[in-house]
Structure 1
Amino acid sequence: MINQNVFIALLHYPALDRHGKIIVTSFTTMDLHDIARPSRAYEINTYYIVQPVDGQRLVIKKQLDYWLSEEGKRTNPTRNEIVQLVKLMYTFEEVVEDITNIRGKRPVIVGTDARNYPNAVSYEFLRREIENRDRDFLIVFGTGYGIPPDLMATFDYVLEPIYGAGDWNHLSVRNAVAIILDRLLSKNRC
């Protein structure tokens, strides 16, 4: 894997609701497959799903177990391959600890958001940092109405928002992950 120094995390907690209240969001099966696919295509190290609710974790675990089983592998070898990149965690702190234990140092944590932050870094800046290969990067994606500002304030970097042709940028997290990984890791740069 060329981008062994890149990890991503999808946070179902903490997340914001439309009123700014901290909530736990629900897992969707599309989040598993549609984020694992670009994770594999861009050869990242690990895709973490953070979900603290045991009932939700059971749904995720059943899917992971099936696709990692011999039956799942026979049914869809490609799905088996992409799901091998996925790790399920209870908390964001566990993600950081897992990477630190595996790689021997704490990763640079990069937050993503549809909102603009005054200290946001550009894709070009972060791409160059990743390409140096001297540090590990954890790119964090929110669900619901985004990652709480208090948590965002603890991150090392905040990536600039995705802007399309206009000013509307409320994308699904699955779309955002694919776009961001492409902008940061693609060989086909313009």
Structure 2
Amino acid sequence: MHNDHVYISVVHYPALNKEKKWVCTSFTTLDFHDIARPARTYELAGYYIVQPLEAQQFVIKEQIKYWTEGFGASFNPKRSMAGSLVKVVSSITEMLEKIKEEKGKYPKLIATSAKKYPQTVSYSQMREILNKKDDVYLILLGTGWGMPPELVESCDYILEPILGPGDYNHLSVRNAAAIILDRLFSINRC
């Protein structure tokens, strides 16, 4: 895998609601394939779903099993390949420990946000960093109304926001993941 030093994750906790309070958001089954497939296309090491709620974890694990071991694996082998990248964890800490077990070191964290922070880096800067393959990296994608600023600011890097021509800026995590991965790893750069 070309980018086996990079992971992506969807963080359901901590997330913010409209009132800027910490909440746990719900997993949507669309997030499973709509992020796993671009993660596989761009040859990432894995895709983690951070979800502390046991009932939600059960749904995610059943989906993983269906697409990697069950009828789905034989029905659609390409989705099975993508599904094999997906892992569910209870916390960011657990995810970091699992990546360390696999790669021998903790990943550098890359936050995503719809807001610009002082330490924001451009996609071209991040591509250069990732192309060196000197470290392991983890891209954190927020849900709800984004990740708490404390989490974003604690990361090693913060990617610039995805902006359109107007002031509307509220993409689904699935759309954002595909755009971000394409900007960072596409071989067909404009």
Give the TM-score band, short-chain normalised. over 0.9
Number of the residue aligned with 1:166: 166
Alignment of 1:63-82 (within 5 A): 63-82=63-82
Distance 1:89 1:19 in 2: 26
User: Per-residue deviation at 1:159?
Assistant: 0.7
Name the SS of the counterpart of 1:153 in structure 2: helix
After superposition, give the CA deviation of every residue in 1:99-154 in whole Å (9 maximum; x if it has no partner).
Answer: 11211111110100111111101101100000001111100000000001111121
SS of the equivalent of 1:143 reads strand
Q: Deviations over 1:3-57 (max 9, x none)?
A: 0111011001000000000000000000001000100111100000000000111
**1: distance between equivalents of 2:56 and 2:93?**
19
Distance (Å, rounded) in 2 between the aligned partners of 1:60 and 1:102 = 21
| TM-score calculated relative to the size of structure 1 | 0.97
Opposite residue 8 of structure 1, the aligned amino acid is I
1:43 corresponds in structure 2 to 43
In the alignment, the residues of structure 2 paired with residue 83 and residue 187 of structure 1 have an alpha-carbon distance, to the nearest angstrom, of 23
State the partner residue of 1:120: 120
CA-atom RMSD in angstroms: 0.9
CA deviation after TM superposition for structure 1 residue 71, in Å: 2.1
Q: Distance in 2 between matches of 1:151 and 1:122?
A: 19
Query: How far apart are 1:70 and its partner, in Å?
Result: 4.4
Deviations 1:158-179 (A, max 9, x none): 1110012223221101000000
Structure 1 gap segments, 5+ residues each: none
SS for the counterpart of 1:49 is strand
Q: Please identify runs of 4+ aligned residues in structure 1 that moved more than 3 A.
A: none
Distance in 1 (CA, whole Å) between partners of 2:73 and 2:106 is: 33
Deviations 1:48-69 (A, max 9, x none): 0000000111111111111111
Aligned length: 190
Aligned to 2:179: 179
Amino acid at match of 2:10: L
Greater shift after overlay, 64-73 or 78-87?
64-73
The answer for unaligned runs of 5 or more in structure 2 is none
- Rounded Cα–Cα distance in structure 2 between residues aligned with 1:29 and 1:36: 11
The residue identity in structure 2 corresponding to 1:168 is Y
Matches within 5 A, 1:81-160: 81-160=81-160
Q: Distance in 1 between matches of 2:119 and 2:130?
A: 18
